[in-house]
Structure 1
C-alpha cells in the first residue's frame, strides 16, 4: 500500500511514518514487532490503530512519542524527525500515572513545568483544563479520592497542559468499566473538538474506534503491518445503533478475524 494512499493531501500532514521496521531481542531471539509500516495522519484528524496484541501498535506510538527509535525508516511530526520526547507531543497511557502525593491541580500543573508561563498564566491554564475535563470542584482532591474515570480525566488535562499539537493515546480508556468508558469516549470527542488537536489512539475496542475516529488503521499480526485503512464518513457525534455505524463495525471485526486466523494448512499444537 503506497504512502499516498494513506494520506489526505488536501490537509497539512501532522504525522508521517515512512517504511518503519522494528525488531526486539528477547531471550536471545529476534522478535519482529513492525515491518515496513507507512502512514500519514492529517492535522486535526482522529485516527485509531486496532489489531491483535503484539502487532506493534504501542511500539509505533512510543516511536512517535520519542520513547523508542525504529531500526529502519523514519517517524516525523509536523515535518520534524522524532528523535526524543517533546512537549509538542503529549502521550496518555491506560494507567493515569498521577502522582499520589499531589492534588489534581498540582498534577495538571506538572505539564506546565517547562512552559515558560507566568504563575498567573499557569494557574489560569490549569483552571481552564480542569473545567474542560469536568473536574471543577475537585482541584484539591488527591488521586485516591477520585474514581477511575475521574483520575483519567485528570490525566487527560495534564497531557493537554503544554498545549501539544499531537496527542498520542495508548488504550487510555481500557481499564475502565463499560459505562464509564462510554461516557469518557463522548468527553474525549468533545475535548478533541475543543482543542482542535491531532489524535492517534491505540485501542482494542472496535466500537470505540468507530465512535471516535475519522479513520481506523487495521494492523496485521506480528510483525505488524498495515492491513487496511477504513474511512469513517459518519457525522459526529455518532449513534452506535445507526445501521451505517454497525456496518463499519462489522467490516472491521471481519477484517480483524481474517488477519488473526491462522492459515488453514497450519496445524496448531
Structure 2
C-alpha cells in the first residue's frame, strides 16, 4: 500500500514546477483560485469546503499548479514588472550615463539592461533569453489602443492630442497635426511599444532619456527580432538597391517572411 502511494505520488509530481523550480506567481494565482472555488463549495457544506481546499493545496504542492497550462499563461499574460517581483535575485535597474557628449550607444544601453548578451556560438550580440521572452509577452498583448497610449507616453504628448495614421507603407504619429514619429510598418511600431514597456522596468532613468535617443535605442533593438511581431514566421534580412537621379544606394532591410512587413531599413554604408 505504501509503495503504491509512493508510485502514485511520483506519477503526479512535476519536478520542473516544484521545489527550486516552483513558479511563485503560478502558485499564488492557483492558491487564490483554490480558495475561491472552495468558498463556493462551502455554500453547500463547510466540510466540503475544508476537504476541497486541502485537496487543491495538495495538488498545487505536488504538481506546482492546479489549473492546467498555468505556467504558460502566467508567462504570457503577466506584465514583466509583475513577474520580476517574484524573481529570487532580481537584477538592479540599469542606470544610463546621461552626461556623455556623443549621445547614447544603443548596444551599450541594451547590454546594460540585460537585453543583449554575447552570442554563444558567434562573435556577435544576441537577445538574452529572459529579455526575448519578456519582449514577446508584451508584443502578444499589445493592441491598437495600447499602442496609441504607449506611443503618446514615449513621445511625451497627451493621448488625446495624438493620432496615428497609415501613409503609403509607413505609420506616422501626429500631435496637433504635427508629425512626431514614423515607423516603417505597424509591426515595427508594435515592437517598439512592447520594448518600451520592458525597458522602462529595467532602466532606472529611461523616462529621462531624450525622445530621439530613446527612439534610437528602440530602433537598434528591432534589428535583433527573429520572429515577426504580428504574422509570426521568421524574419529575413536582405539588401535593396534604390536608384536616384544621379546615384544608387544599398539598403539593409529586415522584413517578415510571411507577410512582408518591414521591421527596419538602414543605409548599408552606415552599417559597421
> Into which bin does the TM-score normalised by the smaller protein fall?
under 0.3
Instruction: Say which one has the larger Rg.
Output: 2
User: What TM-score, normalized by structure 2, do the two folds share?
Assistant: 0.27
Of the two structures, which has the highest relative contact order with CA contacts closer than 8 Å and spacing of 6 or more? 1
- Higher strand proportion, which one? 1
- Higher helix proportion, which one? 2
User: What TM-score, normalized by structure 1, do the two folds share?
Assistant: 0.27
